[in-house]
A and B are shown apart, each in its own frame.
Chain A
Amino acid sequence: DAGVIQSPRHEVTEMGQEVTLRCKPISGHNSLFWYRQTMMRGLELLIYFNNNVPIDDSGMPEDRFSAKMPNASFSTLKIQPSEPRDSAVYFCASSFNPLTPTNEKLFFGSGTQLSVL
């Protein structure tokens, strides 16, 4: 079975450019999460969706960041305009959330390494 698929693996862009990160969750999973990993702040949750609906976006740093999940098999995280401090590894994760935590665990993608110059 394919795991969580993220693209691109690496992205190098210049300050001010728009960046779009993509994620395909595991088929059948109904929750999707975007995490960011930096040396300074470690791993932090940006936003998560349940059944394609954004539930909690309190971790989104500012209005330059937006995330969408148009269907159960695809999500994007967009940064516009990008800044050097956005450089990080962005992880997408998915899980099956039956509203009881019995079996819920996160499956992570391989991440997108973003460098904003």
Chain B
Amino acid sequence: AQKVTQAQTEISVVEKEDVTLDCVYETRDTTYYLFWYKQPPSGELVFLIRRNSFDEQNEISGRYSWNFQKSTSSFNFTITASQVVDSAVYFCALSSPHAGGTSYGKLTFGQGTILTVHP
């Protein structure tokens, strides 16, 4: 069965601190996709990144960076120099053929990490 675990339920930091959100996944497929979504207080889900299982290169986008390690089945997300606007719930998600169907939009989500950045 597929599973995504975000061990941190809540994280609280002060602005300008770096923060890392952990994500560990389980799947028996060799081809899969990993995602991070952000859910700000307004409620919508905003796509941040998708990474396929064959690409272990780390990625950086501005203050955001992602560390994918297949050996530990982890896909961690780091925010550098956090800002108040980063306060949100962050979800890690997994999609794979084992989930069935023809679409990689069938996602298994983690429980989410509530990030609060204080001024």
A31 to B110, CA, bound (A): 22
> Contact between A48 and B109 (Cβ–Cβ < 8 Å)?
no
- Size bin of chain B's contact surface: 20 to 34
Q: Given contacts A42-B110, A42-B112, A48-B106, are A108 and B101 in contact (CB under 8 A)?
A: no
Determine chain A's interface SS by DSSP, over half rule.
strand
Contact B103 A48 (CB under 8 A): yes
Q: B3 to chain A: closest CB distance in Å?
A: 12
* Given known A110-B44, A111-B43, contact A31–B103 (CB-CB < 8 A): yes
Interface centre among B45, B91, B109 (most CB of A within 10 A): B45
Known: A45-B106, A105-B105. 4 other contacts (CB 8 A): A31-B105, A43-B112, A50-B101, A56-B101
**Could you tell me which A residues sit within 8 Å of B by CB distance?**
31, 33, 42-45, 48, 50, 55-56, 58, 89, 91, 93, 95, 97, 99, 101, 104-111, 113
